[in-house]
Copies of this chain bind each other. A is one copy, B any other.
Amino acid sequence: MASGLEEKKKRVVSGMRPTGKLHIGHYFGALQNWVRLQNDPTYECFYFIADWHALTSDYADTSAVAQNTIEIVTDYLAAGLDPQKCVIFQQSLVPEHAELHLLLSMVTPLGWLERVPTYKEQIENVTNKDLHTYGFLGYPTLQTADIVIYSEEGTPLFVPVGEDQVSHVELSREIVRRFNFFNGFETKAALRSQENFGSYKRALAKLASDGPEGKLLASTAASKQKWIDPETVDLSLFGVPVSEWDLVQSEAHQLANRIGLENFLQRMGEEAIFFGGLEILVEPGVMLTQTPRIPGLDGRKMSKSYGNAITLSESDDDIRKKTKVMVTDPARKRRTDPGNPDVCPVYDWHKLFSSPDTLKWAAEGCRTAGIGCIECKAKMADHLIEWITPVRERRVQYEQHPKRVLEVIDDGSKRARVEAQKTMARVREAVFGWQKKRKEVMSDGVES
């Protein structure tokens, strides 16, 4: 099934909320690019339906989410996403997202969430829903979990976004950095090798020079000037039920927490090379995507709620009917006025759907008043219909066989879950260390 994915070297994650049928704005704003990426053998792509995200604002009436999920996957497939080339899945079928979200929530500062521009904007502008909820505030943390649960060690992870979404990815990077620091800070084993005993003593002295924990160290480990083999250490020497090495690691982590990683490494000076952060989760990178301009029928941003969109399943009749009344260059009032295609939504659409010849015909005809807007729109509609026909045909295929859509969802979600579970195994070990602890317990001498 995923046989073609092995050679892929970078991962891409993106998703949409299940709000209903997709329109051509979604296609040119995202799907077109998703299809391009699935066909690039260097990328392994994960595309999902963010059904839990739908609840952050639509918790009061969730009755449409399941049907909308089916609609949106149908549109994914109609647009050309191929389950053989990418992983299409449903967020809530990979419950590991919720667990990672919970763990990330512990390290996410409230202020980071409160300062997200879209949060403040929506809280102020959305009046028909009460968005003063804990879940809505945590949206960026859930989004971070959705992305970085597809972390793989040593594999770059990308989120294809437009300029306006860059700050969200940046926030994800910061949350991951903080998580990695708290859970992946490491005192490297090389520091306890015999040959580095000089560095070990100097590092201990530097740890001991700071605050109450430093004093603790000074009274136990640091005052001893002899090398202790951590494997054979006599715990009673320290009067604490941890080995000197555990103590050193804990002290180093605490000091780094207190003064920050950079200050810590600076203080360690030459010994800094023995400390560092493990990459438990991969910081996601921005994959800036240039998308063409595709205004709605009325010239505003295309949106289902404005009623100014053409869906991917729109009929020929409706396309003709809707484009006939499309907004054009407002300065061209009469048929005899010359127009400016650069400010005309119809011309923006021509650029996406029409042939170079038609494009030239439209621009010249508009500027010289050689053609009228009605003529120009009809021609554009011809090309739009030509473009949409294969998409719509694929859509009808899946509409008539919704079981196949469910199979795509189920199969993709299973594949996504395998990857998510690998990441969570690594995350759980970094947070709680049960594998290590169980090994300790199991190899315990006084065992039954």
Q: Residues of A at under 8 Å CB distance from B?
A: 51-52, 55-56, 59-63, 65-67, 70, 92, 95-96, 98-99, 101-103, 105-111, 113, 130, 132-138, 141-142, 182-183, 249-250, 253-254, 257, 400-404, 406, 428, 431-434, 436-438, 441-442, 444, 446-448
With A55-B431, A448-B403 already in contact, the answer to whether A101 and B98 are too (CB < 8 A) is yes
Choice from B95, B102, B182 contacting A52 with Cβ under 8 Å:
B102
Which chain B residue lies CB-closest to A249? B63
Contact (A134, B141) CB under 8 Å given A106-B59, A432-B62, A432-B92: yes
A51→B433 CA distance, assembly (Å)? 12
Please name all residues of chain B whose beta carbon is closer than 8 Å to the beta carbon of A142 when the two chains form the complex: 102
Question: Which of B110, B132, B431 touches A111 (beta carbons < 8 Å)?
Answer: B132
Complex interface: chain B residues within 8 A of A400 (CB):
446, 448
Counted per complex, copies of this chain come to 2
Q: Which residues of B contact A446 (CB under 8 A)?
A: 400-401
Task: Indicate if the CB atoms of A62 and B444 lie closer than 8 Å.
Answer: no
Chain B residues whose CB sits within 8 angstroms of the CB of A67 once the complex forms: 437
How far, in whole Å, are A134 and B112 apart by their CA atoms in the complex? 9
Complex Cα gap A4–B13 (Å): 49
CB of A289, distance to nearest CB on chain B (Å): 29
B55, B254, B437: the one within 8 Å of A66 (CB)? B437
> Measured between C-beta atoms, what is the minimum distance from A413 to chain B in Å?
12
Q: Which residues of B contact A62 (CB under 8 A)?
A: 182-183, 431-433
B102 touching A441, Cβ below 8 Å: no
> Contact: B253 with A106, CB < 8 Å?
no
Report the Cα distance A257→B442, complex, angstroms.
Answer: 55
* Nearest-CB residue, chain B, relative to A97: B102
